[in-house]
């Protein structure tokens, strides 16, 4: 009997399994309630007294060997399953990767930056929390100037000289203070105005403003630059400039592009005229140049500014400006294929 048990010990040590089912069958065979070990322990009472000690030791060796084999095989199979859970079946086709999408405001801003970069404009940025000098006074808007009422401003209560910028013209002031002409820069960024939120307006939005200062800059240079931009941006080459007023430019103008009247949407956007206002512009006021340390007797320049959000609404036929800031994934996913 002892020799038979030793044969089982050798069989246990040589045993291997590839599945959990095989391991379980092995466990039941040796360690189950009706397994071989149960029978061997039951046989102990029939073994001669002088052989009981050796018999018991051999049976315990078989039991320990069987238990260790079961534990080691279970551990090995569990490790293999964890590995498969991480890597999966390497022969299967890969799962599609869900790509993010650019925000429509970013799409339009990047396109504007790209268009102006082709004609030598760099990009300048500045703080969204500004002081009165850079946001108003340096731009020919001294205290109590009536034109300040054109922009409802968010002021910081603890310091009336600190505010949320109402336009990115403040960036242009900072740029002129720290750079000498020739200057050719555009300033995209978020701005804030204390306005009622509706489908067409918001208390924060995005602007891009451009500035060109050099010797001999004329209004004709301004018009040609804007003509180039509207052709590249909208595919529309027909523009018109209407006289207007801005405190920091003189003369000033509003820029309209001829959008056309081909569809019902065109009629709605242009109110039946075919013309669509896209930006304001003008020649930089000499006082602004002086405030920024540039001699207006030597240099002249032009500036322009437009709302990025408004252009995004126009190009992508978005009916409500609030959709740009609600982070609705159903809305944003529509721009996944855009660059």
**Which range, 64-73, 169-178, 266-275, has the best average confidence (pLDDT)?**
169-178
pLDDT at 101: 81
pLDDT at 292: 95
Mean pLDDT rounded to a whole number for the chain = 86
pLDDT above 90 covers what percent of the chain? 42
Mean pLDDT of 8-26: 82
Contact 90, 298 (CB under 8 A): no
> Which strands form 239-246's sheet, in the order they lie side by side?
122-123, 183-192, 204-214, 300-307, 275-284, 249-258, 239-246
Q: What is the pLDDT of residues 187-229, one digit of tens each?
A: 999 999 888 888 878 889 999 999 999 999 999 999 999 999 9
pLDDT over 60 (residue 87): no
pLDDT at 192: 92
Higher pLDDT, 104 or 13: 104
79-88, 154-163, 258-267: range with lowest mean pLDDT: 79-88
| Confidence category of residue 149, pLDDT binned at 50, 70, 90 | low
| pTM score, whole prediction | 0.68
Q: What is the pLDDT of residues 119-135, one digit of tens each?
A: 999 999 999 999 999 99
């Amino acid at each position: 009997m002892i020799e038979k048990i030793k044969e089982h010990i050798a069989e246990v040590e040589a045993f291997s399994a590839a599945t959990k089912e095989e391991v379980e069958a092995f466990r039941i065979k040796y360690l189950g309630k009706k397994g071989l070990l149960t029978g061997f322990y039951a046989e102990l009472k029939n073994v001669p007294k002088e052989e009981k000690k050796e018999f018991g030791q051999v049976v315990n060796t078989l039991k320990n060997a069987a238990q260790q084999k079961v534990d080691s095989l279970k551990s090995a199979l569990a490790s293999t399953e964890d590995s498969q859970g991480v890597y999966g079946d390497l022969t299967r086709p890969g799962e599609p990767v869900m790509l993010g999408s650019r925000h429509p405001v970013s799409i339009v801003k990047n396109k504007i930056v790209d268009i102006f970069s082709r004609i030598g404009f760099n990009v300048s940025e500045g703080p969204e929390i500004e002081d009165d000098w850079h946001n108003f006074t340096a731009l020919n808007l001294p205290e109590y100037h009536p034109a300040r009422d054109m922009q409802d401003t968010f002021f910081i209560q603890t310091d009336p000289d600190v505010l949320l910028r109402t336009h990115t013209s403040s960036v242009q002031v900072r740029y002129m203070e720290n750079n000498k002409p020739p200057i050719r820069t555009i300033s995209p960024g978020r701005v804030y105005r204390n306005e009622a939120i509706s489908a067409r307006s918001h208390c924060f939005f995005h602007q891009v403003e451009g500035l060109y200062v050099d010797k001999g800059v004329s209004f004709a240079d301004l018009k040609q630059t804007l003509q180039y931009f509207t052709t590249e941006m909208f595919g529309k080459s027909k523009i018109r400039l209407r006289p207007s007023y801005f405190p920091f430019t003189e003369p000033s103008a509003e820029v309209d592009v001829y959008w056309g009247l081909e569809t019902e949407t065109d009629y709605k956007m242009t109110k039946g005229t075919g013309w669509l206002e896209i930006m304001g512009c003008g020649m930089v006021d000499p006082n602004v140049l002086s405030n920024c340390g540039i001699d207006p007797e030597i240099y002249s320049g032009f500036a322009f500014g437009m709302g990025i959000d408004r252009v995004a609404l126009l190009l992508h036929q978005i009916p409500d400006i609030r959709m740009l800031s609600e982070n609705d994934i159903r809305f944003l996913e529509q721009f996944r294929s855009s660059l």
